[in-house]
A and B are shown apart, each in its own frame.
Chain A
Amino acid sequence: MNAIILSLLGAAIILDKYALGEFGISQPIITGTIIGAIFGDVWFGIFLGAMVQLVFLGGLPIGRDIPPDGQSAGIITVGSYFLLRNFNSFGHSLFLAVVLGLVGSIIGGILEIYVRKFNEKLYHRFVHHEECLYICHTMGLLTAFIRGLCLFLPLFVFSQLIGVPDVFPQITKETLMIIGISIGLANSFYLFVKIKTVVYLLIGGICGLALVVF
């Protein structure tokens, strides 16, 4: 699979973020599975998707707030990893994929603001030409798709072409897991742990320990 096809696929999946349906297909754990399956390594796709998911578990799109784009981060991290893996070692590929994913999430959030500003023009066009409602509204699909393409294509082309030198930093799967679980725990504690749910947290913790021991 080359960078262009992967970018088109990513841009189509990212429509699920808000432009079409919102079925949850664009969540990193799902996109990790899809991209992993395409590249023939579902397990590692799920693992990477899961780690990105934990990082972005607390990003809540409430009201006008536009948090960093966790969905794009999932697609970029997993897609870049598999493209980088063609010419680079595991540690280098993992490191660069995670960095690209995190940077991509911030750029994705900024691009989303621009897309929504562009949609403002569509709204003004509709206000002056009421008969254009469906056209102006549906054009939103195109702007969301183009946003995805503009975000994914350069990063995937870069990932496909680059050969990382040996002196470049690298990380292990365990390191990524430590970071992912740390921020995942912080996010989940922040979201779910209250005085009335502490008992459930303890039940979960005891069950978790039992799983590890036995």
Chain B
Amino acid sequence: MRLSFGRLLKIFWHSLFIQTSWSFPSMQSMGFLSDLVAGVGEDKKSEILKTQRGLFNTHPYMVSYIVGATVRAYDEGRASAEEIGKFLAVAQTSFASAGDLLFWRTLRPALLLLAVILGIHFGIVGPITFLVIYNIFHLFHRIKGINDGYNLGWDVIYLLKDRRFKMVREIFEAAGAVLSGLLFSLAAFGVSYLLVIPLTALFMIMLVRRYSAVLIIISVLLLVLIIGMV
């Protein structure tokens, strides 16, 4: 079975809106249902809305894998709603944790660091580099995810064991570490920049001790206020 280009486009387009109506009790439920209905077709809409409208939450870029596999299940018509529900429960958490690790914790901060360093030295090259590289990975997963999901069906979960996920993460972790070292080069301009060392240590302690993000921002704010007044 193959997914037609038209359906692939429809699923891709709706996947861009997966988090539009994010709410606490249902999370991405409405976004997921819209995407699924777009892929499966209006004739099965009422069946899908009746049986699959529970809580849904996964990584927004990785949802394509899940939608692709679910569309396949509906196309084949062999799985019951309960079985599809069980697949969704397992798949959403697996892809959420893989996506969070890959994109939020590694790829995006590493590329943003690169953009900052390039941006300060070479201007607009930095932001453009970020947008191009980041969106190559982002759109690759969005588009290929639909096809992989559809072709592999429920076995799509095993893709997470694939070496490519781990390899990309390791490469960007290493790149992030190199860029962290390079970030020092922005600071090494004068004696006043020696202040960077105690301030970095202070913020490190706050991060390691898992102080809330709001508290860290408030401490930055206080630092700006104190320096401004002095």
Q: A interface vs B, CB < 8 Å? A: 18-25, 27, 29-30, 32-33, 42-43, 46-47, 49-50, 53-55, 57-64, 67-68, 95, 98-99, 102-103, 105-106, 109, 116-117, 119-120, 122-123, 126-127, 130, 133-134, 136-141, 144, 169-171, 174-179, 181-194, 197-198, 200-209, 211-212
Taking a contact as CB atoms under 8 Å apart, the answer to whether B100 and A205 are in contact is no
Known contacts being A30-B131, A106-B217, A119-B22, is A209 close to B185, with CB within 8 Å? yes
Q: Is residue B160 contacting chain A, with contact meaning CB distance below 8 A? A: no
Taking a contact as CB atoms under 8 Å apart, the answer to whether A67 and B213 are in contact is yes
The smallest beta-carbon distance between A196 and chain B, in angstroms, is 8
Q: B interface vs A, CB < 8 Å? A: 16-17, 19-27, 29-31, 33-34, 37, 46, 49-50, 53, 57, 60-61, 96, 100, 104-106, 108-110, 112-113, 115-116, 119-120, 123-124, 126-127, 130-131, 134-135, 138, 173-190, 192-193, 195-196, 199-200, 202-204, 206-208, 213-214, 216-218, 220-221, 223-225, 227-229
Q: Out of B23, B112, B180, B181, which one reaches A27, CB within 8 Å? A: B112
The interface residues of chain B lying within 8 Å CB-to-CB of A169 are 225, 228-229
Taking a contact as CB atoms under 8 Å apart, the answer to whether B176 and A212 are in contact is no
The interface residues of chain A lying within 8 Å CB-to-CB of B195 are 178, 182
Taking a contact as CB atoms under 8 Å apart, the answer to whether A188 and B23 are in contact is no
The interface residues of chain A lying within 8 Å CB-to-CB of B53 are 126-127
Taking a contact as CB atoms under 8 Å apart, the answer to whether A209 and B184 are in contact is yes
**Distance between Cα atoms of A130 and B31 in the complex (Å):** 14
Taking a contact as CB atoms under 8 Å apart, the answer to whether A179 and B116 are in contact is no
**Distance between Cα atoms of A59 and B207 in the complex (Å):** 11
**Distance between Cα atoms of A202 and B174 in the complex (Å):** 11
Closest A residue, CB atoms, query B110: A192
Would you mind naming 24 contact pairs between A and B with Cβ atoms under 8 Å apart?
A: A22-B16, A23-B131, A23-B138, A29-B112, A29-B126, A30-B131, A42-B123, A46-B120, A49-B119, A53-B112, A60-B105, A68-B214, A103-B221, A106-B214, A120-B26, A178-B193, A179-B199, A181-B200, A182-B202, A189-B180, A192-B176, A200-B174, A200-B181, A208-B183
Closest A residue, CB atoms, query B135: A23
Taking a contact as CB atoms under 8 Å apart, the answer to whether B61 and A22 are in contact is yes
Top 6 A-B residue pairs of the complex, sorted by shortest distance between their CB atoms: A204-B181, A169-B228, A208-B185, A186-B203, A140-B21, A182-B199
The interface residues of chain A lying within 8 Å CB-to-CB of B176 are 188, 191-192, 197
Taking a contact as CB atoms under 8 Å apart, the answer to whether A33 and B185 are in contact is no
Q: Out of B104, B179, B217, which one reaches A55, CB within 8 Å? A: B217
The smallest beta-carbon distance between A159 and chain B, in angstroms, is 16
Q: Out of A106, A138, A170, A207, which one reaches B218, CB within 8 Å? A: A106
The interface residues of chain A lying within 8 Å CB-to-CB of B131 are 23-25, 30
Q: Out of A60, A117, A194, which one reaches B104, CB within 8 Å? A: A60
The interface residues of chain B lying within 8 Å CB-to-CB of A130 are 46, 49-50
Taking a contact as CB atoms under 8 Å apart, the answer to whether A138 and B20 are in contact is yes
**Distance between Cα atoms of A88 and B93 in the complex (Å):** 51
Closest A residue, CB atoms, query B113: A188
The interface residues of chain A lying within 8 Å CB-to-CB of B110 are 192
The smallest beta-carbon distance between B46 and chain A, in angstroms, is 7
Known contacts being A46-B123, A184-B116, is A102 close to B25, with CB within 8 Å? no
The interface residues of chain B lying within 8 Å CB-to-CB of A171 are 224, 227-228
The smallest beta-carbon distance between B114 and chain A, in angstroms, is 10
**Distance between Cα atoms of A187 and B188 in the complex (Å):** 18
The interface residues of chain B lying within 8 Å CB-to-CB of A138 are 17, 20-21
The smallest beta-carbon distance between A110 and chain B, in angstroms, is 9
**Distance between Cα atoms of A179 and B193 in the complex (Å):** 10
The interface residues of chain A lying within 8 Å CB-to-CB of B24 are 64, 116-117, 120
**Distance between Cα atoms of A42 and B128 in the complex (Å):** 13
**Distance between Cα atoms of A120 and B29 in the complex (Å):** 11
The interface residues of chain A lying within 8 Å CB-to-CB of B16 are 20-22
Further 4 A-B residue pairs, CB within 8 A, beyond A22-B16, A134-B34: A18-B22, A54-B116, A58-B213, A133-B30
